């Protein structure tokens, strides 16, 4: 399996996280956006959008990080990461929704503006990012307090797992300065 990747890309990072959690062997193929490699015809054949990440799983090409997460979860994670019952799947989609809103327009944008000097309003992006993190903190606190619920947290850890939720390959390498 190949992941067309750039280490500093947050969209690629979330795919690398799931690959590590699932302990799926893969090769990283560098596509240097700064050199315009994503606009070359050979790359556009893989992803007509000209964006990273792209997954090549033995000839099955998947682009868009969210689609890749879904693909990997279904193909290699059984129901642990993407349960099939309606309520659990809706909960996963809720958090992917946070990823496409508060994370993208909040945390990611704040990183682009603050660290990479892209144009934009840093304070606004940070405020939106904080809002998303607060919702996540509330959810995690409820879980720590043992709130009954549904979704991936209620699924049993895979065999050989000593700590629930942690699998071989975790933690993933800290391969770039976030
Ligand atoms: N929704 C897409 C966004 C992909 C995206 O924006 N990727 C960036 C790297 S983080 C990219 O390739 N940008 C180059 C461009 O858009 O020209 C995903 O989640 O994969």
pLDDT of residue 135: 95
Ligand 1 atom with least separation from CA of 39: 17
Is residue 61 scored above 80 in pLDDT? yes
* Residue nearest ligand 1's atom 15 by CA: 51
Nearest-atom index, ligand 1, CA of 33: 14
Termini Cα distance of the chain: 25
> What separation in Å is there between the alpha carbon of 176 and the centre of ligand 1?
18
| The pLDDT of residue 155 | 42
Mean pLDDT, rounded, for 27-42: 97
Give CATH for domain 2-76: 3.40.30.10
- What local confidence, expressed as pLDDT, does residue 126 receive? 97
pLDDT tens for each residue of 93-142: 999 999 999 999 999 999 999 999 999 999 999 999 999 999 999 999 99
- Note the pTM of the prediction, 2 decimals: 0.84
Domain ranges of the chain: 2-76, 86-152
Strand order in the sheet with 2-5: 27-30, 2-5, 54-57, 60-63
Distance from the alpha carbon of residue 103 to the mean position of ligand 1, in angstroms = 14
Is the distance from CB of 62 to CB of 7 less than 8 angstroms?
no
pLDDT for 156 beyond 80: no
**What is the average pLDDT score of the chain?**
87
d(CA 54, CA 37): 13
Q: In the predicted model, what is the mean pLDDT of residues 33-58? A: 98
């Amino acid at each position: 399996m190949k992941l067309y990747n750039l280490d500093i890309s947050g969209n690629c990072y979330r795919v690398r996280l799931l690959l590590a959690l699932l302990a799926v062997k893969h090769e990283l193929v560098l596509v240097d956006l700064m050199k315009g490699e994503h606009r070359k015809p050979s790359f556009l054949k893989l992803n007509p959008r000209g964006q990273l990440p792209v997954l090549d799983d033995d000839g099955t090409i998947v682009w868009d990080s969210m689609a890749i997460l879904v693909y990997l979860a279904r193909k290699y994670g059984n129901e642990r990461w993407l349960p099939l019952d309606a309520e659990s799947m809706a909960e996963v989609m809720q958090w992917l929704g946070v990823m496409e809103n508060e994370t993208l327009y909040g945390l990611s944008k704040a990183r682009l503006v603050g660290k990479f000097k892209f144009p934009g309003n840093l304070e606004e992006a940070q405020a939106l990012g904080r809002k998303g993190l607060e919702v996540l903190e509330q959810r995690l606190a409820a879980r720590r307090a043992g709130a009954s619920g549904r979704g991936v947290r209620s699924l049993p850890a895979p065999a050989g797992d000593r700590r629930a939720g942690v699998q071989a390959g975790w933690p993933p390498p800290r391969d770039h300065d976030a």
